Amino acid sequence: MSASAVFVLDLKGKVLICRNYKGDVDMSEIDHFFTLLMQQEEEGLVCPVMSHGNVHFLWIKHSNLYLVATTNKNSNASLVYAFLYKLVEVFTEYFKELEEESIQDNFVVVYELLDELMDFGFPQTTDSKILQEYITQKGNKLEVAKTKVPTTVTNAVSWRSEGIKYKKNEVFIDVIESINVLVNANGSVMSSDIVGSIKLKTMLSGMPELRLGLNDRMLFALTGRKNQTILHCLSDELMKRISPTNVKPLIWIESVIEKFSHSRVEIMYMKTDLIQSLSFSLFQAKGQFKKQSVANNVEIRVPVPSDADSPKFKTSTGHAKYVPEKNLVVWSIKSFPGGKEFLMRAHFGLPSVENHELEGRPPITVKFEIPYFTVSGIQVRYMKIIEKSGYQALPWVRYITQSGDYQLRTNS
């Protein structure tokens, strides 16, 4: 691993906060980071690893911050990135939003966290739940008697405190399948896959071992082993797998764009006419999942040219909204029953003087959520808790299918 130092920079490359862990890389090396980054951005060849001399910068960007780790060794890159993202995760859990302001407002806590998360370039205590037991935001309140070390820090099992007790022992199991679909402009499905994950929120007493049985077909795909998978009893994302099977796109969208460009009547006429060349879009969305299932909170985001104006919409259900700052039309449908078809008709004015600057044509993206439904047919068959005291626990299973990276390309 060994990251020599960690920096948090603002968008102008100014160091907001930093921590020198190892002392084998000069802290002023960070000055080269931003120049290198600018240089690469100009050439259009940004890379998440940059080197200056024998110092390597590994960086990520989060909202308006750069998080940079420096090292002069051939260290494990994926580990460093994973750590930087862990930093983001922990900070976000502490400050809700991780951005320049929250770092500046909470620098005391940030220092405290940086101190505990890593020592001498090695990750130490990174679980935010455990950290929250002894680094609290109420730093301003004066507590003289805060002398207790959380047992977690001294425990044999580093990720769980001993002596946890719940009145009701329950496990909430979320089986989530995200669907990634890429459809080409001419309607052919370029790629489609499911990323399945099982998330657990456990409210179990003591130090239990949890066994989860899934239906056979999927089980093999999940673990590669015979019958069960043993989990650490921690609310955590359990596993993430891409199923190679192709799925049918669940929501299908057809769009027709009719362009009546350059319908200039007379240039002398009126100014408004000059701007108005018309463009009609007709969108049709079709749900292809099982009839009983209902997709909730469907959002279809249709990109429009940045110089479009005076939008008019007509929808058979839901409502459409023009978001000019993102150059999007968002068509949201609260509930979308399977097998139904809906229509939207959008009308825009476009300037008749064509925009000469090339614009990328972003794809149409769709967001949705279908509860009580999994595409792959995965099911949780049983759950067993093994604990010294031998209590029974209640499992709550929830199946959700949601959109992952769901893109439909438009003609350019």
Name which of residues 86 to 125 contact other proteins (CB under 8 A).
107-108, 111-112, 115, 119-120, 122-125
Least distance CB 241 / other proteins (angstroms): 6
How many Å apart are CA 184 and CA 332, to the nearest integer?
23
CB atoms within 10 A of CB 95: 17
Determine the Cα–Cα distance for residues 198 and 326; give it in Å rounded to an integer. 33
Candidates 28, 74, 272, 389; binder of other proteins (CB under 8 A) is: 74
Confirm if 39 and 55 have CB atoms less than 8 A apart: no
Stretch in the footprint of other proteins (CB under 8 A) among 223-231, 248-256, 289-297, 327-335: 223-231
- Residues 344-383 binding other proteins (CB under 8 A) are 358-360, 362-363
Helix-, strand-, coil-residue percentages of the chain, each rounded to 5 = 20, 40, 40
Burial label, 96 (beta-carbon count in 10 A; 0-12, 13-18, 19+): exposed
Q: Which is nearer to other proteins, 273 or 405 (CB)?
A: 405
Which residues is 195 bridged to in the sheet? Answer: 178, 242
Q: Name the minimum Å distance from CB 318 to other proteins.
A: 24
* Minimum CB distance to other proteins smaller for 72 or for 315: 72
**Which range touches other proteins (CB under 8 A), out of 12-20, 165-173, 285-293, 319-327?**
12-20
DSSP structure class, residue 115: H
Window 285 to 344, contacts with other proteins (CB under 8 A): none
Judge whether 309 and 281 are in contact, CB under 8 Å: no
Interface with other proteins (CB under 8 A), residue from 309, 369, 387, 405: 405
Is 172 a binder of other proteins (CB under 8 A)? no
Q: How far is the CB of 220 from other proteins (least distance, A)?
A: 12
How far apart are CB 153 and other proteins at their closest, in Å? Answer: 5
Number of residues that bind other proteins (CB under 8 A): 91
Q: Minimum Å distance from CB 264 to other proteins?
A: 25
- Cα 243 to its chain centre, rounded Å, is 19
DSSP letter assigned to residue 63 = T
Tell me the C-alpha distance between 147 and 358, whole Å: 63
Taking the complex as a whole, how short is the minimal distance between the CB of residue 222 and other proteins, in angstroms? 8
* Segment interacting with other proteins, rule: CB under 8 A, options 191-199, 274-282, 341-349, 385-393: 191-199
Q: Which stretch binds other proteins (CB under 8 A): 182-190, 270-278, 344-352, 385-393?
A: 182-190
Binding to other proteins in span 15-34, by CB under 8 A? 15-17, 22-24
Residue of 10, 36, 52, 81 that binds other proteins (CB under 8 A): 81
Q: Are 315 and 304 within 8 A, CB to CB?
A: no
> Other CB atoms closer than 10 Å to residue 214's CB: what's the count?
21
Structure tokens at 170: 């329950």
Classify residue 368 by burial, with Cβ atoms within 10 Å: 0-12, 13-18, 19+: buried
String of contacts with other proteins for each residue 236-275, x by CB under 8 A: xxxxxxx-x-------------------------------
Lookup: tokens for 16:
């907001």
Residue 107 beta carbon to other proteins: minimum distance, rounded to whole angstroms? 6
Contacts of 113 (CB under 8 A, 6+ apart): 90, 91, 94, 131, 135
- State which of residues 39, 63, 64, 158 lies at the interface with other proteins (CB under 8 A): 158
Burial of 352 (0-12, 13-18, 19+ CB in 10 A): middle
Q: By CB under 8 A, name the one of 42, 97, 224, 356 that touches other proteins.
A: 224
**10 Å Cβ neighbour count for 272?**
9
Which of these segments, 67-75, 291-299, 329-337, 384-392, binds other proteins (CB under 8 A)? 67-75
Question: Of these, 26, 99, 127, 299, which contacts other proteins (CB under 8 A)?
Answer: 127
